[in-house]
Copies of this chain bind each other. A is one copy, B any other.
Amino acid sequence: MSLERKERFTANTAFPADRQQLIRERLVRDGRVLAAELAAEFGISEDSIRRDLRELAAAGVCQRVYGGAIAQAAANRPILERSRENIGRKQKLALAAVRLVQGGQLVFLDAGTTNVEIAKALPEDIGLTVATNSPAVAVALMDRDDIEVVLIGGRLDHQVGGILGGQALVDVQRMRPDLCFLGVCAIDIEAGLGAGTAEDAAFKRQLVASCGAIVAVATNEKLGTGAPFAIADIQDVGHLVVEADADANQLAHLARSGVEIVRAS
């Protein structure tokens, strides 16, 4: 008896910690595990497996069920949902927008929810540098080893969700991004691009001045509307990314200003 146990124990190269790690991996892969199955695989009794599962459940990794355990859906679900259907309008816009980006470039992502989606939509291993004044963009790119992130410093504007102010202006002045995704609040053929606050508009004006190419990404409700503070003329915009069902009439007017229209699918 004791011999059997000793034999198993020493022959088995797996520490409890390793074993639990393997169970974790299996949980994310399959979503569920069976106690009996694991016991057979590791060559130990189901009791020990149950102990492991109990600990993992206590750590919040999985949830115990009769016969085994299922993965705690919280961390997994969003990734799956994201890759599958349910792609929002802004995500479709983002997918169209990122096609304008090339590896090796210095790209500026302005503050805004759309630009956060663009950050998330950047292709794997594209290898570029992203400058931004948006903490949310930085967080979205935190786990991307192929993307160097440079954050503009300064006072955070809660309304805009980005860094604004004098120091930010100076910092942007010192860099020459190849491409800039401008977070516009309004875009109109006559009024041009507009923002909701004076400080935001001032920052975006500096962006337009500093960046080699400007891309505006606009959902339908932003087309043909004005905003209190002007940023730039339509002529300053290189590309305008719009939704698939954007108003054709508006687009025709805009295209006449020389801006290249990109339609999302």
Q: Which residues of A are in contact with B by a Cβ distance under 8 Å?
A: 10, 13, 15-18, 32, 34, 36, 59-60, 63, 65-68, 70, 74-75, 78-80, 84-85, 87-88, 135-136, 138-139, 141-145, 148-156, 158, 161, 163, 167-168, 171
Given A15-B67, A142-B156, A151-B163, 20 new contacts (CB under 8 A): A13-B34, A15-B65, A15-B66, A16-B65, A16-B66, A18-B70, A60-B87, A78-B145, A80-B142, A135-B138, A135-B142, A136-B139, A139-B139, A142-B158, A143-B158, A151-B155, A152-B153, A153-B163, A153-B168, A153-B171
Given A65-B15, A65-B16, A135-B139: A151 in contact with B153 (beta carbons within 8 A): yes
Q: Are A68 and B15 in contact (CB under 8 A)?
A: yes
Bound complex: CA A65 to CA B144 (Å): 31
What's the number of copies of this chain in the assembled complex?
2
8 residue pairs bridging A and B, Cβ less than 8 Å apart: A18-B65, A79-B142, A135-B138, A142-B161, A143-B158, A148-B155, A149-B158, A151-B152
Contacts of A63 in B (CB 8 A): 17
Bound complex: CA A145 to CA B159 (Å): 9
Q: Are A149 and B155 in contact (CB under 8 A)?
A: yes
User: A-side binding surface: helix, strand, loop or mixed?
Assistant: mixed
Q: Residue among A15, A32, A88, A144 with the most chain B CB within 10 A?
A: A15
Given A15-B32, A18-B70, A34-B13: A154 in contact with B143 (beta carbons within 8 A): no
Bound complex: CA A102 to CA B54 (Å): 41
Q: Are B138 and A156 in contact (CB under 8 A)?
A: yes
Contacts of A16 in B (CB 8 A): 65-66
Contacts of A34 in B (CB 8 A): 13
Contacts of A136 in B (CB 8 A): 135, 139, 142
Contacts of A151 in B (CB 8 A): 135, 151-156, 163
Q: Residue among A79, A154, A167 with the most chain B CB within 10 A?
A: A154
Contacts of A153 in B (CB 8 A): 150-154, 163, 167-168, 171
